Chains A and B, each alone.
Chain A
Amino acid sequence: MCILENSHQSSGGCLNSNEDNMEQKQTFFQVIYLGLQNAIQVIWKISKIIIPVYIVVQLLDYIHILPAIGTFLAPVMEAFGLPGEAAVPIMLSNVLNIYAGIASLVSLELTVKQLTILAVMITTSHSLFIETSVLHGIQVPRWIQLCLRIGLMIILGLMMNVLWRI
């Protein structure tokens, strides 16, 4: 293939393929370094969201607004087997991202069953604004994504609450 290209063009193609082969043979430390670099970038991006959300949620808890929201939404969240306050992480992770949801989740006291149900619900449907526009970029209609994610979040939450009897 390379020889054929050479006959028509300059020798650029052949050299490039050689360089590609060289690049693929990364050393172990280069790979680790690349991973750490990515990790630091992601952590920096995340902590800009996590720290403010966490402090605001803790403050709301301290001045007794969070428990008030909890008692207000308790009848709705009871269907999922969750306390009323659990609506806050679900809302935050849907509107902002999954890390904001996790930050607001730490201040709640939940059992393993409740945490698992909440985890399935949140991982099914989160950061809707960003992720629907990512998939909208490859021509997937927004309404299909929203119906699927929100609908399945609710169905899964209800089903897990009903089926999990231990």
Chain B
Amino acid sequence: MEKIVQFFHEFIVPTVISLGEMLLKIMIIITIVMVAIEILKALKILEWLNKRLYFFTRFLGISPQASFPLLIGIVIGITYGAGAILLSYKNKEMSKKDVILVSIFLCLCHAIFEDTLLFTALGANGLIIVPIKLLVASLATFLANYFIQKRRLLEEISIPEVII
């Protein structure tokens, strides 16, 4: 009996309290993020932002038509992003290269506000996390674009040699 009381005091009470605290934090963050996303959708802020970011996507080698699925994936999440990619690929707005580049960016960096806020609530430094993630994902996409183009150039060069 004593052991049960001790277990109750040492384990169950602190666990339930800290679990409740953590759940409350997560609930508040997710509610804020979800409402903010709906407001972004309703006010069409992402479309507005999309028009101003074309120099950035051009630097990554992504065509302007493909930058909107990218933006959706970065802000809202990978499932929405993949849906948007699929939709615009079916409408033939995106080339195969665009799909691969956007996917590489998104698999490294998606739902950036939600995930970062969750860690910031525990005490991490969000101002360091977001730039690092964006920078690394951009760099990976840029390199992928570079290699795709290089390979294409090599193919073009190698064709005459085969003919000769």
Partner-B contacts on A (CB < 8 A): 26, 31-32, 34-36, 38-39, 42-43, 46-47, 50-51, 54-55, 58-59, 62, 98-99, 102-103, 105-107, 110, 112, 115-116, 118-120, 122-124, 131-132, 134-135, 137-140, 144-145, 148-149, 152, 156, 160
In the bound complex, CA of A62 to CA of B18 (Å)? 14
A-B pairs, top 5 by smallest CB distance, nearest first, are A35-B35, A35-B38, A119-B119, A39-B34, A115-B124
Please pick, from A26, A55, A134, A148, the residue contacting B140 in the complex, using a CB distance under 8 A.
A148
Task: Indicate which residue in B30, B85, B104 contacts A39 across the interface (CB closer than 8 Å).
Answer: B30
Contact A38 B38 (CB under 8 A): yes
If over half of A's interface residues share one DSSP class (helix, strand or loop), that class is named, otherwise mixed; here it is helix
Query: Given A98-B118, A119-B116, are A62 and B10 also a contact pair (CB < 8 Å)?
Result: yes
Contact B15 A120 (CB under 8 A): no
Across-interface contacts of B82 in A (CB, < 8 A): 134-135, 137-138
Minimal beta-carbon separation of B153 from chain A (angstroms) = 21
**Beta-carbon nearest neighbor of B140 in chain A:** A148
Q: Is B99 an interface residue (CB 8 A)?
A: yes
Query: B129 to A31, Cβ gap below 8 A?
Result: no
Complex alpha-carbon distance, A112 and B99, angstroms: 37
Closest to A117 in B: B124
Task: Give the size range of B's interface with the partner.
Answer: 35 or more
Contact residues in A for B107 (Cβ distance below 8 Å): 131-132, 135, 140, 145, 148-149
Selected contact of B22 from candidates A35, A54, A59, A98, CB within 8 Å:
A54
Subset of 29 A-B contacts with CB under 8 Å: A35-B39, A36-B35, A38-B37, A39-B35, A43-B30, A46-B30, A54-B15, A55-B19, A99-B118, A102-B22, A102-B26, A102-B119, A105-B122, A106-B122, A115-B124, A119-B119, A120-B128, A123-B116, A124-B133, A131-B107, A135-B82, A135-B107, A137-B86, A138-B85, A138-B89, A138-B99, A138-B103, A140-B99, A156-B132
